[in-house]
Amino acid sequence: MTSKELSNGLLRTIAILSAIALVFFLIYKLSSIIVYLIVSVLFTLLGNPIVRFLETKLKFKNTLAVVTTLILSILLITGIVMLFVPLILSQGENLSLLDVDKMEQNYNELVESLDGFLIGHGYNLSSILSDSNLFSHLNLNFIPNIFGSIVNIIGNFGMGLASVLFISFFFLKDKEILFNNFQSVLPKNQKDRILNSISKISNLLSRYFGALLAQLSIIMILYLILFLIFGVENAFIIALLCAILNVIPYLGPLLGMIVALTLILLSGIGLENFSDILPKTIYVFIGMVVVQLIDNNFTQPILFSKSTKSSPLEIFLVILASGTLFGVVGMIVAVPTYTAIKVIAKEFLPNNKIVKTLTKEI
């Protein structure tokens, strides 16, 4: 190999690495837009059957069918949000009853009872907690900050929802035009592979969303039964909220537990003896852990193993990487995106050893 060939090869390598780095940089900078596009594609897949039903069964024109589908989607989202308004109002009323002195008294009573129990078993809790001054450092200034964060999240969600609905409108309305234009620019020697990939992706994603809906329904029912057994206020709304949060892989169940237990504790602020709510909270926590164990060991493996054709380790690593790059939204769309990438890889790189290993079930 001559020095010229070596230098040319080095320059090509540098150019390829630079191009790859540029692509990843653009993906990082345009991550929000990319996520909006991915969510819009997924929303289009979910909304397309409704559009077809309105066009074929009710004889709606295409534009009217698309607008009707989007309106129904907005009404559904609005209805779900409105379900939480009474819960927010009731918890706001509970916060207005927050009495730090009363909480300190309940805390001291609880510690004394617990200390008496532990002394009988050779432990002295009072010596450990005597200098803690837990409630002397209690500062409720964090509450306005929490509400400020909630307003910020709602604002970002509203902007994202508007963007997704706007993009989805054109995806649904002009899907045939877009698909025909897409087919026209496909290379003839790869056209069949690409169309076959799209068909497989659509099928797998339909199965995935069906499995996800079934999983969330099972979780909501189990939580609802648990909350009703222990007499939790607003049991249905809290169970629905926990099920919705479960859409976020790994992080969602933990957030659901925190939210549910916090709401249960807040509901006991106005009671004469606040410590009465603690046993209920502990029992509910144990019940929620049991529900998650059932979900992680039975529901998820049974429902998702057939729909995603991926091992739990694959899913975990993909969600972790996607969450690191794109945040919570990235975690939500990680599995559908990874499933699509696997289908495309199998179609175009069928002889690659890594691809063969990852896609042997597809």
Contact between 238 and 263 (Cβ < 8 Å): yes
Show the CA angle centred on residue 237, arms to residues 279 and 48, nearest 5°.
145
Share the mean pLDDT of the chain: 77
The count of residues in the chain is: 362
Residue from 41, 18, 21, 17 nearest 29 by CA: 21
Kindly state the tokens that stand for 149.
């964060």
162-176, 231-245, 301-315: the lowest-pLDDT one: 301-315
Contact partners, residue 228, CB within 8 Å, separation at least 6: 235
The predicted-structure confidence for 188-228, as pLDDT tens digits, reads as follows: 888 888 888 888 887 887 788 888 888 889 999 999 999 99
Backbone angles phi, psi at 45, to 5 degrees: -60, -40
List Cβ<8 Å contacts ≥24 apart for 213-218. Answer: 214/303, 215/246, 215/295, 215/299, 215/300, 215/303, 215/304, 216/243, 216/244, 216/246, 216/247, 217/243, 218/295, 218/299
The amino acid sitting at 137 is H
User: What's the farthest any 2 CA atoms get from each other in the chain?
Assistant: 89
The predicted-structure confidence for 23-72, as pLDDT tens digits, reads as follows: 888 877 777 788 788 788 878 877 888 888 898 888 888 889 999 999 99
Kindly state the tokens that stand for 280.
């209920």
Judge whether residue 5 has pLDDT over 80: no
Judge whether residue 101 has pLDDT over 50: yes
DSSP state of 104: H
pTM > 0.85:
no
Question: If pLDDT is split at 50, 70 and 90, which confidence band does 19 have?
Answer: confident
> Which H or E run contains 265?
helix 251-267
The predicted-structure confidence for 325-345, as pLDDT tens digits, reads as follows: 777 777 777 888 888 888 888
Residue 336, judged by CB atoms within 10 A of its CB (0-12, 13-18, 19+), counts as: buried
